[in-house]
Amino acid sequence: MKAITLFGISNCDTVRKARKWLAENQIEHTFHDFRKDGLSKTEINHWLERQGWEALFNKRSTSYRALPDEDKTNIDQAKAIELMLEHPTLIKRPVLLTENSVQIGFKAEQYQELFN
């Protein structure tokens, strides 16, 4: 399998679980902390080609609840992208990028299926 990148933030519990699972299963990968390493519109658009913006945009996050009301209204893909670029913690985590897929979130069963 070609390059695998796990995107997230290092202090997120779900990201930690995904990283631990990858390490325990000896899956070589790169970790990209989008809070520290940044995130581009190109990367987000690539993920959205595989997953809809609604799957990537986390309306249940603390970051979303902290947004001003005008940012929470009339959200479409373009507005969601701008908000995710401005506030990367609005992105559901982790995002696992492989040669053929983009997985959002972590479930051990899904990772097991993906890497078998």
Burial of 70 (0-12, 13-18, 19+ CB in 10 A): exposed
Number of domains in the chain: 1
pLDDT of residue 1: 47
Q: Domain containing 66 — which CATH number? A: 3.40.30.10
**pLDDT digits 0-9 by tens, 9-21:** 999 999 999 999 9
Residues with a known catalytic role: 12
SS3 7: strand
Which H helix or E strand runs over 44? helix 41-50
Question: Could you identify the residue written with the tokens 């209204």?
Answer: 73
pLDDT of residue 37: 94
Global confidence as pTM: 0.91
Q: Which domain holds residue 103?
A: 5-114
